[in-house]
């Protein structure tokens, strides 16, 4: 039993029901929280309201953000690489929940900007680290005709008897170079301001891009943008996560040193699986931060706004609605952190885990943002208040990094496969 002499008030941490945290973790959380509040929120508010082309122009506040986050050392790749798995599972979610509480578009944009560098460091190859370690990057996987079709890991998503789309981008090898032609989708996050990409694309080994079973040959390449044959489209104008710019990358017989192929045709699919597993895991904790931001705003608002002769919070139903939001935010965090533990633990990582978190959290985040907006009444719909932005951001998260139904379909297949494997079926 727990013993008390009197009924105390609950002690809540920055994120709510916080258990024990080390001094180092508290310091990182505090630093990330202050950065999110003082730097990210004001910049994101401006970017959200700006024209999408102005948002990447020379005088855009996006550059101030990038300069300040680099200087903050919040995502120091070398420091993260030196952490134990246990440290990664505890510290990375602390940083990303806070950053996305500040702004999900900026947080996700900064994360993907590090993807090519992450991969270069992962190879341990000095030449790749030198070439890509300091370049601002992006993660190019989808193409105009290949959205959900981009990857069918268990070959369960095609219509019977049909092949997935050929797509719009093909790589081939010519001597000691990879030659790439075609284009990515307009959805490549950060592409308009990127200097490099971690690119996943179809591979023609001289015998076409399809294997006999209809699946595709696939490779991963680090692409520097300062070579001939690469150009970019205009930034995309979209509804949510507007501080995160997006756009196409065009390849016109772009020739890239063969050495920059970081996953060959045997490793292309597993490499993509790894990238998506990481990205989905990050989406889970990040949109926990967005849901918490909505709850925080709602909590403040109902203590100020009066209706029925008193502050909204004094109405019982309002308190109950807030409590349900709080429950959902706590459930999101519990799920997201459990998935970090799994992925950095002895049984992980796996996309089943990350998709479980990503789909649950982003769907729940939409519910929480919607209820928070409802609590703001008409004010929730105006651009003067923060809720309509958070709602738009949350809505985008159900499609980013894999549309939620398609991720659920993949996860469901693995649940069944794991069961069959366990029971020799």
Ligand X SMILES: Cc1cc2nc3c(=O)[nH]c(=O)nc-3n(C[C@H](O)[C@H](O)[C@H](O)COP(=O)(O)OP(=O)(O)OC[C@H]3O[C@@H](n4cnc5c(N)ncnc54)[C@H](O)[C@@H]3O)c2cc1C
Q: Which residues bind ligand X (CB under 6 A)?
A: 112, 139-142, 147-148, 157, 185, 187-189, 241, 396, 399-403, 405-406
Comparing CB distances to ligand X, the nearer of 209 and 400 is 400
Comparing CB distances to ligand X, the nearer of 153 and 399 is 399
Residues, the chain, total?
425
Contact 114, 47 (CB under 8 A): no
Rounded least distance, CB 345 to ligand X, Å: 27
Strands 310-311 and 139-140, sheet pairing: unpaired
Query: Could you tell me the two tokens for 335?
Result: 């799920």
| Run of H or E including 163 | none
If we measure between CA atoms, which residue out of 336, 329, 335 comes closest to residue 299? 329
| Run of H or E including 189 | strand 188-189
| Run of H or E including 230 | strand 230-232
Distances in Å between the alpha carbon of 15 and those of 89, 201, 340?
A: 17, 39, 17
Comparing CB distances to ligand X, the nearer of 29 and 280 is 280
Rounded least distance, CB 176 to ligand X, Å: 27
Comparing CB distances to ligand X, the nearer of 29 and 404 is 404
Comparing CB distances to ligand X, the nearer of 50 and 83 is 50
Rounded least distance, CB 361 to ligand X, Å: 15
Query: Could you tell me the two tokens for 302?
Result: 């109902």
Comparing CB distances to ligand X, the nearer of 187 and 287 is 187
Strands 249-257 and 169-174, sheet pairing: unpaired
Comparing CB distances to ligand X, the nearer of 292 and 358 is 358
Distances in Å between the alpha carbon of 411 and those of 157, 351, 357, 408?
A: 12, 7, 11, 5
Contact 386, 292 (CB under 8 A): no
Comparing CB distances to ligand X, the nearer of 344 and 414 is 414
Rounded least distance, CB 322 to ligand X, Å: 28
Give the separation between CA 170 and CA 146, rounded to whole angstroms: 12
Contact 275, 281 (CB under 8 A): no
Comparing CB distances to ligand X, the nearer of 307 and 405 is 405
Strands 169-174 and 196-203, sheet pairing: parallel
Rounded least distance, CB 396 to ligand X, Å: 4
Give the separation between CA 410 and CA 8, rounded to whole angstroms: 46
Rounded least distance, CB 167 to ligand X, Å: 11
Cis peptide upstream of residue 349 (ω within 30 degrees of 0) = yes
| Run of H or E including 350 | none
Comparing CB distances to ligand X, the nearer of 168 and 185 is 185
Rounded least distance, CB 406 to ligand X, Å: 5
Give the separation between CA 132 and CA 225, rounded to whole angstroms: 11
Rounded least distance, CB 141 to ligand X, Å: 4
Give the separation between CA 163 and CA 421, rounded to whole angstroms: 27
Comparing CB distances to ligand X, the nearer of 312 and 394 is 394
Give the separation between CA 266 and CA 406, rounded to whole angstroms: 24
Rounded least distance, CB 242 to ligand X, Å: 10
Q: Which residue is nearest to ligand X (CB)?
A: 147
If we measure between CA atoms, which residue out of 138, 159, 154 comes closest to residue 249? 138
Rounded least distance, CB 310 to ligand X, Å: 40
If we measure between CA atoms, which residue out of 127, 104, 128 comes closest to residue 118? 128
Rounded least distance, CB 112 to ligand X, Å: 5
């Amino acid at each position: 039993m727990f013993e008390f002499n009197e009924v105390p008030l609950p002690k809540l941490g920055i994120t709510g029901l916080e258990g024990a945290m080390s001094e180092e973790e508290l310091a990182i959380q505090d630093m990330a929280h202050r950065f999110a509040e003082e730097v990210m929120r004001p910049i994101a508010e401006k970017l959200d309201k700006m024209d999408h082309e102005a948002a990447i122009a020379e005088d855009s506040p996006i550059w101030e953000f990038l300069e300040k986050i680099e200087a903050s050392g919040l995502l120091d790749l070398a420091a993260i690489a030196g952490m134990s798995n246990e440290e990664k599972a505890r510290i990375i979610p602390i940083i990303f929940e806070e950053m996305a509480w500040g702004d999900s578009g900026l947080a996700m944009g900064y994360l993907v900007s590090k993807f090519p560098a992450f991969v270069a460091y992962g190879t341990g190859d000095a030449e790749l680290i030198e070439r890509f370690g300091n370049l601002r990057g992006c993660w190019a996987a989808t193409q105009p005709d290949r959205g959900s079709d981009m990857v069918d890991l268990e070959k369960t998503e095609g219509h019977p008897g049909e092949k997935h789309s050929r797509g719009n981008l093909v790589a081939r090898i010519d001597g000691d170079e990879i030659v790439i032609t075609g284009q990515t989708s307009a959805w490549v996050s950060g592409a308009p301001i990127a200097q490099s990409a971690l690119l996943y694309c179809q591979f023609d080994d001289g015998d076409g891009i399809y294997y006999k079973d209809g699946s595709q040959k696939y490779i991963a390449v680090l692409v520097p943008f300062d070579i001939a044959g690469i150009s970019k489209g205009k930034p995309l104008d979209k509804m949510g996560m507007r501080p995160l710019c997006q756009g196409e990358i065009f390849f016109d017989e772009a020739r890239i040193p063969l050495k920059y192929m970081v996953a060959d045709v045997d490793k292309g699919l597993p490499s993509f699986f790894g990238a998506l597993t990481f990205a989905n895991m990050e989406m889970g904790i990040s949109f926990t931060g967005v849901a918490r931001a909505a709850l925080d705003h709602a909590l403040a608002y109902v203590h100020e706004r009066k209706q029925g002769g008193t502050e909204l919070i004094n109405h019982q139903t309002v308190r109950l609605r807030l409590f349900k939001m709080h429950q959902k935010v706590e459930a999101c965090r519990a799920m997201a952190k459990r998935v970090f533990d799994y992925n950095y633990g002895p049984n992980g990582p796996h996309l089943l885990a990350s998709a479980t978190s990503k789909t649950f959290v982003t769907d729940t985040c939409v519910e929480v943002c919607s209820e928070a907006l409802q609590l703001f009444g008409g004010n929730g719909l105006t651009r003067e208040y923060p809720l309509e932005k958070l709602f738009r951001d949350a809505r985008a998260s159900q499609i980013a990094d894999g549309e939620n139904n398609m991720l659920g379909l993949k996860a469901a297949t693995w649940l069944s496969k794991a069961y069959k494997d366990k029971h020799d079926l």
